[in-house]
Chains A and B, each alone.
Chain A
Amino acid sequence: MSLQVASIVFADGTMAMVNLASLELVESGGEADIYLWDRGGEKLVVKVFSEKQTSLAKPVERMATMLRRLLSIPECRRLPRCLSVRSFPVGFGSLGGRAVLVYRALRGFTLLSEVIDDPEKLKSYLSRSQQERRAMAVDVLRGLACLDRAGIAHLDLTTANTALGDDGNGFWVHLFDLETASIRGSREYPLVVLPAKDVHYMDSSELRKAGIPLRQPSASELPLPVTHELDQELRSWVEWSLVWYGLQLVAYVYTGLSPFHGLPQLSMKYWLEVVEREKRKRFRPLWPPKAMAELGFLSHDEYQQLRRVWDGLGRLAHIFYQVFVLDVAQSRPRPSLSLSAVASYVR
């Protein structure tokens, strides 16, 4: 029974003991168990890692290192709102050999993937103003840029690791599950899990079909430190994945749509047709690319509707064109812009 009691130290210096048996277990996964804790009216999420994951990922030390790195960057000292509630813990602790992290909870916590998949939830999300959704999308971009500047390679940037909900100051988007993000240049905090395949994203490993020399590591290569010693193909995969997935996530937050919306499938086979035609016809950089309509993936009306939707993203739509069309057409070993460069361009 004593092993069920976790000792927690909070960021404000207070300490607490909590009996997990008295908390609501919301999810029991392989890497960690998740509990909800009502601490005198304050709603908290308690994440108790398995012993194996604790020794493999060292989540407490890893998160502390990430925070230290983030806070050393002047423009990230005040964390973007999407990183301020569910990304970094307000308390650390242990339960025997298991690491415990405590986060503030979101009211009405809903995964972005659930919103995308459920027509009713999506309609409700899209009934929010375009300005509000754009602001959230830009905030996510700023959050990703901060992680990038801090040398945090958060590859598991999926729509299932992004949540919507009330953070106490209203409805907003929040990133979570950063505990396995790798830290660049560090052998101590390597890549320990492969990013989940998000059915809503075009997979970055598909870029190989565009002649980009990249390779996703296999599970047997883990743990894999993200250092300069990485071979060229793995390094390309890391650099491309961060930007490739980051921009797709931003698009989904903005409008619940893939930036490639209109393709019959999110596969490179179709996308390369678009890229080739754009290259050949030298169209103006628009989003969606004009070739989407010319190739019949979108009707004229749909193309116009999507133009209006994506135009709301302003300069970001040009970035989509740069990365998804031009960089792919040139088979660049890494995208021409990092996420931090994208964020400065948009600001």
Chain B
Amino acid sequence: MALPPIVRLLERRPVSYTVLVVFVLDRSLSMSVTRTYDRRSKWEHLVELVERILGRLHRSSMAMAFRVGFVWFSDTVEKVTSNGRSYFPVKPRNIALEVFRESVDRNTPAGMTAIADALYAASSIVEEYIEDKSIPSEKYVTVFLLTDGKETVKTEDDVLAAAGHLTFECAEKLRSLHERNSIGLATIALGLDADRQLLRDIASYLSEVQRQALEEHGVLSLVDPPYHEKMFIDAPQRDEITRDWEEAVRRFIEKLSETATVR
């Protein structure tokens, strides 16, 4: 019976690449507004959306590749950490979901909107990921910024600089590890009060494969209309989160996560 030794050996299972998904989540006071299809707050919907996505990533055929990190922000920023790490696997155990759930209670809506600081916190997660020698050098990153507000702590230029740091400086470091490595910043406006033009400006361009994947999954029409070229979803019409809009955002995040390797 060769079984027991093999099973012990299987505790170490190498992978060939990883994909880091970072959620940058708005917990400013405006997120407590109930402009949603079921009159629960936007914040509650945001929490539920992230939980559903983490469940889907866990069931994905790429599950072993995913690492997920979280940043909550209002006028202050919390980079979610656990045991000294700031990104977590979704498989075999969905540690990312466990850590996210633990972070929810201390991140209820309050305060203003520090988007630039939140993006720098996301960059620090990406930098930790780049430095991580325990995973293969083939690394892909997608950062999802979900907000309903405008920068109120620093300036618009600071947001542009923070986004630039992420998509240029971090991207360069990432590519120095492996020529295929890439990073994408996707932005989602959760309300008409968001700085929608700025969110579009800082979003990365979609690759052709990603455009096709979004089209095949019926969400391209919502993504950066009318050009459909950037990783940006504008606020729902009439400033109310509908079930369809929420479902489209879920698919958008899942598809961009799954196609991060084919940019």
Is B136 a contact partner of A197 (Cβ separation < 8 A)?
no
Task: Find the A residue at minimum CB distance from B207.
Answer: A219
Q: B16 near A202 (CB under 8 angstroms)?
A: yes
Q: Between A and B, how many residue pairs show CB distances below 8 Å?
A: 107
**Bitwise interface map of A from 199 to 239 toward B, beta carbon under 8 Å scored 1, else 0:** 11111011000000000000110000000000000000000
Smallest Cβ distance from B14 to chain A, in angstroms? Answer: 5
B14 in contact with A266 (CB, 8 Å): yes
Instruction: Spot the interface stretch: B58-66, B74-82, B105-113, B148-156.
Output: B58-66
Q: Would you call B15 and A266 a contact (CB within 8 A)?
A: yes
Complex Cα–Cα for A268 and B71 (A):
33
Q: Is the CB of B10 within 8 A of A122?
A: yes
Separation in Å of the A177 CB from the closest CB of chain B?
11
Q: Is A31 an interface residue (CB 8 A)?
A: yes
Task: Indicate if the CB atoms of B6 and A200 lie closer than 8 Å.
Answer: no
A126 close to chain B: CB less than 8 A: yes
Q: Which residues of chain A are near B65, meaning CB under 8 Å?
A: 199
Those of A260-299 within 8 Å (CB) of chain B: 260-261, 263-267, 269
Q: Let me know if B92 is at the binding interface, CB within 8 A.
A: yes
Decide yes or no whether B5 CB sits under 8 A from chain A. Answer: yes
Inter-chain CA distance A159–B33, complex, in Å, is: 45
A259 nearest CB across to chain B (Å): 11
In the complex, per-residue mask of B64-91: 1 if CB is within 8 Å of any chain A CB, else 0: 1100000000000000000000000001
Q: Is A41 part of the binding interface, using a Cβ–Cβ cutoff of 8 Å?
A: no
* Of the residues B2, B9, B17, B134, contact of A203 by C-beta under 8 Å: B17
Contact: A158 with B9, CB < 8 Å?
no
Q: Are B92 and A261 in contact (CB under 8 A)?
A: no
- The reply to whether A256 and B10 form a contact with Cβ atoms under 8 Å apart is yes
Of all chain B residues, which has the CB nearest A312? B2
A180 at the interface (CB under 8 A from B): no
For the residues of B in contact with A, the DSSP-based class is loop
CA distance A119 to B8 in the complex (A): 10
In the complex, chain B residues whose CB is within 8 Å of the CB of A265: 14-16, 135-137
Compute how far the CA of A289 lies from the CA of B14 in the bound complex, rounded to whole angstroms: 17
Q: Does any Cβ of B come within 8 Å of A16's Cβ?
A: no
Interface size class of A (residues with CB under 8 A): 35 or more
B17 contacts which chain A residues (CB < 8 A)? 197, 199, 203
Nearest opposing residue in chain B for A112, CB measure: B61
Q: A200: which of B2, B16, B209 is its contact (CB, 8 Å)?
A: B16
State in angstroms the CA–CA spacing of A305 and B2 once bound together: 8
Taking CB atoms and an 8 Å cut-off, the chain A residues in 20-78 that contact chain B are 29-31, 50, 52
CA distance A117 to B63 in the complex (A): 8
- Asked if A118 is an interface residue, CB under 8 A from chain B, the answer is yes
Known: A117-B64, A219-B207, A302-B9. A266 touches B261 (CB 8 A): no
- B:88-144 near A, CB below 8 Å: 91-92, 134-138
A306 located at the interface, meaning its Cβ lies under 8 Å from any Cβ of chain B in the complex = yes
A126-B7, A219-B207, A267-B138 known; A201 and B16 CB under 8 Å?
Answer: yes
Q: Does A130 contact B (CB under 8 A)?
A: yes
In the complex, B216 has a CB within 8 A of chain A: yes
Question: Which A residues between 164 and 223 are near B, CB-CB below 8 angstroms?
Answer: 194, 196-203, 205-206, 219-220
Of all chain A residues, which has the CB nearest B208? Answer: A219
Binary flags per residue of B10-27, CB closer than 8 Å to A gives 1, else 0: 110111111000000000
Asked if B47 is an interface residue, CB under 8 A from chain A, the answer is no
| Closest partner residue, chain B, to A111 (CB atom) | B61
Tell yes or no: A160 within 8 A of B by CB: yes
Q: Select one of A31, A50, A267, A302 contacting B136, CB under 8 A.
A: A267
A264 and B134 within 8 A (CB): yes
Chain B residues closer than 8 Å to A116, beta-carbon distance? 13
The interface of chain B, by Cβ under 8 A from chain A, is 2-3, 5-7, 9-11, 13-18, 61-65, 91-92, 134-138, 180, 207-209, 212-213, 215-217, 261-262
Known: A50-B216, A200-B15. 20 other contacts (CB 8 A): A30-B215, A30-B216, A30-B217, A52-B216, A116-B13, A117-B64, A117-B91, A130-B2, A158-B61, A197-B17, A197-B261, A198-B61, A199-B17, A201-B16, A219-B207, A261-B13, A261-B14, A264-B14, A265-B16, A265-B135
A-B contact pairs, 30 of them (CB 8 A): A30-B215, A30-B217, A31-B216, A117-B63, A117-B91, A117-B92, A119-B92, A194-B262, A196-B61, A197-B62, A198-B61, A199-B16, A199-B65, A203-B16, A203-B17, A203-B138, A219-B207, A219-B209, A219-B262, A255-B6, A256-B6, A261-B14, A263-B14, A265-B14, A265-B135, A265-B136, A265-B137, A269-B137, A305-B5, A309-B6
